[in-house]
Structure 1
Amino acid sequence: MSTSSHPTAAWPPGYAVHPRAAGPDAATVAAFRQVPAAHASDCLGRSVGAIGLLAYHADLKLVLCGPAITVRVRPGDNLMLHKAMLMAQPGDVIVVDGGGDCTQALIGGLMRTTALARGIAGFVIDGAIRDIAEWAEGGLPIYARGHTHRGPSKEGPGEVNVPIACAGLSVMPGDLVLGDADGVLAIRAAEAAALLPRVQAKARQEERVREANRSGTPDVERIDALLRARGCPV
């Protein structure tokens, strides 16, 4: 059964717009804004995250964090990206499966202005953008595959709030999207609250290691134990 606001028969083939999915609660989202993506990645097995995307917002300290509105578009066409922006609530992150195509930009400076006014938290786009000098002004995180001056079409087809793959990252509507200078990952909305204590414990562990490294007393036994487990006589 369709979860869209209209019967399935109302949508022509290749088109669908589903309601915004509820993401994690506001307190969980706020807590994850303090979490480095690398710490969350470690707690997710170091195997979850987008590959090959670049940060175009220039400010390496800018953090992307919020529930996902997902979009699947025909490469080079941004009709459904516009629809997603109209549906987004302040703090939402728009994640776009553009098929990795960089022949036409999916978003540019005018849409950036709209996103800032609407309080959209940022974009993750497996495709191209344009007007990169404007994105470099900061204030709005955006990750993309590349850039080009060639603009998009607005003909469709496309879908909003469906499961997508974005640069190797599986994203469901409402997933918590987290990104910083190291890259972007997605955390299932239902799992975010349970993951948070593990990530915070990881941060405390890393701080202990950092202090030991500063004092010149690294944990030699940890590395030697790993070597011995592999048959190395140390």
Structure 2
Amino acid sequence: MERVQVIGKISASQDEDKEGVSIYNKSSQKGTLSDAEGNFTIAVGVEDIIVITALQFQTFTAKVTQSILQNKTLTILLNTNINRLDEVLLRSHTLTGIIDLDAKNIEVFVAPKLELGYGVNASFAPDRFSRIEKNIAQEALGYGTMSNGVNVGALLGLAFTSLFPKKDKKDYTDPFAEIKSQRPTLQDKYSAQYYSATFKIPLEQVNDFIYFVTHNVATWHLLGPENEMQLLKVLFEQSERYKKKLETEE
């Protein structure tokens, strides 16, 4: 299908930021971003489906008509969106709740072999240094419990750890390994030609640009289709930084 470049304009409330709005041609699978004034250009054909998304606006979908192609202009009026953030669960540990998996990953250590006396005939009769008498709190918790000069609690602790020796780190099972292996990459998201045309990056520098982005910003959580607008905005901001970097290196 033959497509032509049209000049577009994002129209919204004066209080809203119109920069970085994603304009995506679903039919050609190519898109662009608006500038600070809400202006953009995009190649379209008759009956192409255009999807406009932004964090601060409601998603808008339009179909290209013959009139738009003749006038080569596209004006889009967006309504303010009320944003709701997804629930985030913060944890201070790495347990997954899967018993088999967590049991494999719990770290323990091998207790050293305990030799009392070392061949010396020593007397371990209780004396005034053996324990604190009538310390109810410590006795209730099992702390400082001495019997014939030997800390029974410590011995029990060593016996417990000997039953559960420490596992070698090479046996560690990453509970999120399968999820990580299925995680998409920026290379998979768009073609090199798309990066070059959309963000004005020289084609031979696209791989270096992608490395630059992944080194500076965490983007893997934005690679799903529901986060298209946020990802394009991040890429647009990083492309400006990358091009300035190239200018300083020349």
Relative to total residues, which structure has the larger helix share, 1 or 2?
2
> Does TM, scored on the shorter chain, surpass 0.5?
no
Relative to total residues, which structure has the larger strand share, 1 or 2?
1
With the shorter chain as reference, the TM-score category is under 0.3
TM-score by length of 1: 0.21
Specify which structure has the bigger relative contact order, considering alpha-carbon pairs within 8 angstroms and separated by 6 or more residues. Answer: 1
TM-score by length of 2: 0.20
Structure of higher CA gyration radius: 2
